[in-house]
Amino acid sequence: MVVTALKRSTVLQDTPIAISAVTGETLAKMGVDNIGDYAKAVPGLTLVDGGPGARRVVIRGIQGAGEAQVGIYYDETPVGGSPGTTSDSGARSPDLKLFDVQQVEVLRGPQGTLYGSGSMGGTVRVIFRKPGYENEGAFEGNVFSTNGGGMGYEANAMVNLPLVEDKLAARAVVFYREVDGYVDNNVLGLKNLNDETTWAGRLLVRYEPTENLTIDAAAFVQRTDAVAQSVSVKSGDYVSTSRAQLPLYDDYNIYSLTARWDLGWAALTGVTSKYSRSQLQTSDVSNFIGNFRNNPGLCASRNGGVPCGPAEFATFNAYVNTHTPSTLHQPQDVDTWTNELRLSSTAEGPLNWTVGLFSEDRDAFIVSQQQGVDPVTGIAYSPARISTVRTIDDSLKQTAAFGEGSYEITDKLTLTAGARYFKYEKKIVGQTFVGLDLIGARVTPPTTVSSKEDGWVFKFNASYDVNDDIMVYAQASEGFRPGGANQVIGLPGALTPYDSDSLVNYELGAKTAWWSNRLTLNFDVYQIDWDNMQVSGRTANGAFSFISNAGAARVKGAEIEAVLNPMQGLQLQANANFSDAKLVEDQVNPDVNAPGRKGDRIPFIPKVTTGLAAQYTWPLTDGLDGLARLDANYVGTSYSEFRPTNAFRQKVSSYTLANVRVGVEAKDWGAYVYVNNITDELAYVTKNQSAISAGTINGVTVRPRTVGVTFNKKF
């Protein structure tokens, strides 16, 4: 299998880094249509799942608040989340649908030299199929039912059209998904409330004016309308006690233009792209506001500084009641322009290299307002009853120059070195238009905070071919992500800026093939030292989050991947990650005392994850085959906070999930029956409790047992 992880084409087993790759055909047989589902098949890749539009992608245990720690690329376009009001863009990784995909590549470990900021833990690359010069089409339909929930429907289609022979072609893809929920709200009397509707379209055009020049233009749109799917852990299985309905939407638009010119001795590639995302996130703050009832300090503050008696408390509590039940309503828009120009060697010889320039210009605008809701229906009042309104205008500008080269010292030994110089500036303008004294929010004029930084990251790699089937390698690589500035009401000036954090990864690995390539076995061990960690803190009243730097962590781990083809038609796969991710310093600095202490485990990082798969195909009749596939994965126990003594800390118990799929397939069609979550396990992927949740433990679960049928047809 050929991959392009090094920004040039290499064979997967000959690429001396930890990388997992899977073709679009394999994804279809797995029943996978998003990165979250595929994560189960990749060692060290996990999702901290807050529901639609609120997922954090994690590789090798590098998890925390702030900018993304895993780079997500759709073709050549880096995509990310809105920084929100807390500069936590990493918590809003995009989740685009994976239909008509050529392959997905997951690069494990920091990729700072070639992919830059945001690739501290690794990089995920989704590569779409490009237009070809033959007429073709495809259709896929899917109908399913969820235990305790409702029905779901999906329809996908692709058409490829040659427009000018060997010169111009177009490929169009559409996707539609409508699925009922499975979470009930006992407070509002709603059933299956976490429904979702998603539609998407993709258009790609390829133009080859000469045999040496290829120009690809692409447009991608996706729209999701859904309802937040968190449940109240102590209120029963798949039950929410939210006092408000929590609608959300998530819109993506990606436009890109890529030109590749083959110079004979090198390939010159230029990419320009625009990524836009409009998103609405809502959360229930009713209990948080309600807890201010009978607060002596706040009551006295509204009573001219005089302590309150029964009459004053009655008046004060009536005032609090005018602001609850309510939601935090946060529409947010992000526009990002990226450009990259790189030159990669293609000539035969011992030296292979890539050099390039990169720029990014990201602008985000966030509105955060507390809105009153009807206590009976949970729907926001219209016209809106506003308690607070503030806006954040967040901009990030980055430039970089990078290079990486490999030299074959002998026919067995290859040395690689890479470097990247980066420079960024972040500026945030905030303003409060409507204040609320209960949370310390007062009307303010526009205020601006900013930070900037530059620096270098490096990579060194040595690989040795023991023989034609075994390669070993050693690598040291660095990763980083930008710092920034907090625009938080009432935050002391010392806490306004925060620095970038960085890490160094030390790794030993081997890629091996046995039994005439019937068995491939790849494994690695690594240690990651993470310094000056970006950590999340809260203001004294719990109303606002901010980011600062404190402490250091070390992650020690091992990964293994194996694929065995013991007989005709049978394939067995296994993967595992063992991770010891802990703090090695207390999270304390002169300005913030974050909860973590030396020896604490990094939240939401299990020590062990494993995955197993077995697929068997056999002939039924001439031209018709049977298929049976079983996928199972285990996720170990993790915790939601650092300190065992933290009152908000929740245990996220281990779980095992299994999916089965059987069907028949011919050259141009296939029909399948599947069951996901066979045992109907109640599995929590996250649990959270905070001052905002005011005693309620919220969680996100995997979908209950789901039974469905799928049909696909190629034309």
| Euclidean distance between CA atoms 477 and 458, whole angstroms | 6
Single-letter residue type at 130: K
Question: How many C-beta atoms surround the C-beta of residue 34 within 10 A?
Answer: 16
Higher pLDDT, 625 or 543: 625
* Cα gap 640→64, rounded to integer Å: 11
pLDDT for 594: 66
CA distance to 40, 418, 563, per residue, from 27 (Å): 12, 32, 16
Radius of gyration of the chain (CA): 26
Domain range 2-285+324-714, CATH class: mainly beta
Compute φ and ψ for 90, nearest 5 degrees.
Answer: -65, -20
The whole-model pTM stands at 0.93
Could you give the C-alpha distances from 318 to 314, 439, 473, 621, 633, in angstroms and in order?
6, 16, 68, 76, 52
pLDDT digits (tens, 9 = 90+) for 37-56: 888 889 999 988 888 888 89
- Residues 470-529 have pLDDT tens digits of 999 999 999 999 988 887 776 777 677 888 999 999 999 999 999 999 999 999 999 999
* Distance in angstroms (rounded) separating the CA atoms of residues 45 and 228: 24
Q: In percent, how much of the chain has pLDDT > 70?
A: 97
Report the chain's mean pLDDT, rounded to a whole number: 93
Strands 326-345 and 266-284: antiparallel
- Predicted confidence (pLDDT) per residue in 81-90, tens digit: 888 888 888 8
Ordered by start, the domain boundaries in the chain are 2-285+324-714
Centroid of chain to Cα 489:
28
Q: Which of 287-291, 352-356, 674-678 has the lowest mean pLDDT?
A: 287-291
User: How far does CA 185 lie from the centroid of its chain?
Assistant: 27
Mean pLDDT of 231-257: 94
Q: What is the average pLDDT across 577-583?
A: 97
Query: What average pLDDT score do residues 210-237 get?
Result: 93
Cβ-contact 148, 238 below 8 angstroms: yes
Q: Residues near 293 by Cβ (< 8 Å), separated by ≥ 6?
A: 316, 317, 320, 321
CA distance readout (Å), 116 to 6, 45, 183, 421, 529: 13, 19, 40, 9, 18
Say which range, 16-25, 416-425, 440-449, has the weakest mean pLDDT. Answer: 440-449
Mean pLDDT of 555-564: 98
Give pLDDT, residue 691.
65
Q: Please list, in sequence order, all residues whose beta carbon lies within 8 angstroms of the beta carbon of residue 315, skipping any fewer than 6 positions away.
A: none
Task: Grade residue 395 by pLDDT with cuts at 50, 70 and 90.
Answer: very high
Q: In the numeric block, which tokens belong to residue 643?
A: 């300190």
State how beta strands 70-74 and 122-128 pair. Answer: parallel
Q: Which residues contact 511 (CB under 8 A, 6 or more apart)?
A: 13, 14, 16, 470, 471, 473, 520, 522
pLDDT tops 80 at residue 443: yes
Neighbours of 283 (CB within 10 A): 20
**Nearest in space to 107 (alpha carbons), one of 1, 3, 10, 20:** 20
Q: Which residues have a Cβ under 8 Å from the Cβ of 26 and sit 6 or more positions away?
A: none
> Which has the closest alpha carbon to 252: 179, 333, 171, 172?
333
Question: Who's near 573: CB < 8 A, 6+ residues apart?
Answer: 41, 561, 562, 563, 564, 611, 612, 613, 614, 615
